[in-house]
């Protein structure tokens, strides 16, 4: 039986069972794509990162949701490197990571904060059908139309439709229609929709966000690293601040009882950072390469 060490690591938090849980398989070499997909489905978190050897970088990663492989995942990148650091497999400093979108830099500080350099930003403001967006997100039309900032398509490796909202109350009360959100995202060739407001829970937070990615099997993501990078690039592009702060803090997940905080730098490059903590560490065993067999977790 093929056994692999498998972890659940909560990213963008230092509190177990908060933030965004990622599966981490620190030794993914030799696993087939079908096995990786089966493991990700068994773990049933939004993404699982499989760490592999690389001839282009310090290591390589593949990301799987419970239903498909994806090109990039911020929280699983933060989670996997936080685990490797805590486990003693890597030290602080800069590490290179080969991803499906290219080689990126990962910086780990001595106190365990992991910073992920994002891909080159792409931001394009768009005129949206406010009624359609409001209906899909279950928001009052005025919660979108009364915001001076425009909606936009933004990407730093994964594309999101970014929608600014007036206040926390309507954003928190929203109960989006997954099919309508998936169709809306598809219309803009985006992975999902990120709605945000500058009205926050914590006084030191820059904004509060909610991220919906039903097209990838994730009705709502608790705390989203790649989307945070895209939104930071958006804020920089639309001149949302008179003077862009040295570091931003995005809060997310409170309305899913998984609060987390993403640190973001948006100057010469876009960097997303945060802490992570392990909530589950064990072995997963299953037949070496049987797509239709059940994988059994072992504590």
Catalytic residues: 47
For residues 170 and 37, what is the distance between their CA atoms, to the nearest angstrom? 36
For residues 186 and 245, what is the distance between their CA atoms, to the nearest angstrom? 33
Residues 274 and 225 sit within 8 Å (Cβ to Cβ): yes
Phi, psi of 148 (to 5 degrees): -75, -30
For residues 229 and 270, what is the distance between their CA atoms, to the nearest angstrom? 6
For residues 199 and 196, what is the distance between their CA atoms, to the nearest angstrom? 9
Q: Residue holding tokens 């987390």?
A: 260
For residues 123 and 137, what is the distance between their CA atoms, to the nearest angstrom? 21
Residues 225 and 12 sit within 8 Å (Cβ to Cβ): yes
The beta strand positions in 53-191, using DSSP E, are: 59-64, 69-70, 93-99, 102-108, 114-117, 122-126, 151-155, 159-164
For residues 219 and 83, what is the distance between their CA atoms, to the nearest angstrom? 26
Phi/psi class of residue 138: alpha, beta or left (left: φ > 0; alpha: ψ in -120 to 50)?
A: left
């Amino acid at each position: 039986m093929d056994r692999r060490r498998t972890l659940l690591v909560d990213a963008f938090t230092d509190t177990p069972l908060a933030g965004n849980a990622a599966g981490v398989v620190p030794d993914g070499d030799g696993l087939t794509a079908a096995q990786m997909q089966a493991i990700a489905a068994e773990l049933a978190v939004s993404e699982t990162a499989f760490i592999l050897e690389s001839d282009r970088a310090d290591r390589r990663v593949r990301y799987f949701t419970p239903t498909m492989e994806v090109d990039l995942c911020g929280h699983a990148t933060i989670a996997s490197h936080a685990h490797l650091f805590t486990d003693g497999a890597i030290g602080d400093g800069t590490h290179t990571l080969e991803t499906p979108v290219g080689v990126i830099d990962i910086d780990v500080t001595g106190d365990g904060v992991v910073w992920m350099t994002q891909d080159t930003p792409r931001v394009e403001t768009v005129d949206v059908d406010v009624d359609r967006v409001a209906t899909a997100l279950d928001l009052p039309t005025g919660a979108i139309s009364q915001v001076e900032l425009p909606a936009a398509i933004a990407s730093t490796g994964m594309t999101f439709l970014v929608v600014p909202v007036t206040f926390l109350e309507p954003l928190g009360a929203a109960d989006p229609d997954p099919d309508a959100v998936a169709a809306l995202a598809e219309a803009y060739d985006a992975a999902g929709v990120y709605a945000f407001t500058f009205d926050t829970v914590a006084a030191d937070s820059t904004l509060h966000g909610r991220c919906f990615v039903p097209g990838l099997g994730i009705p709502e993501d608790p705390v989203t690293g790649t989307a945070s990078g895209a939104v930071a690039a958006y804020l920089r592009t639309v001149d949302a601040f008179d003077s862009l702060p040295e570091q931003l803090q995005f809060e997310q997940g409170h309305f899913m009882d998984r609060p987390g905080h993403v640190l973001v730098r948006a100057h010469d490059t876009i960097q997303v950072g945060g802490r992570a903590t392990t909530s589950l560490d064990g072995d997963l065993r299953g037949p070496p390469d049987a797509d239709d067999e059940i994988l059994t977790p072992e504590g």
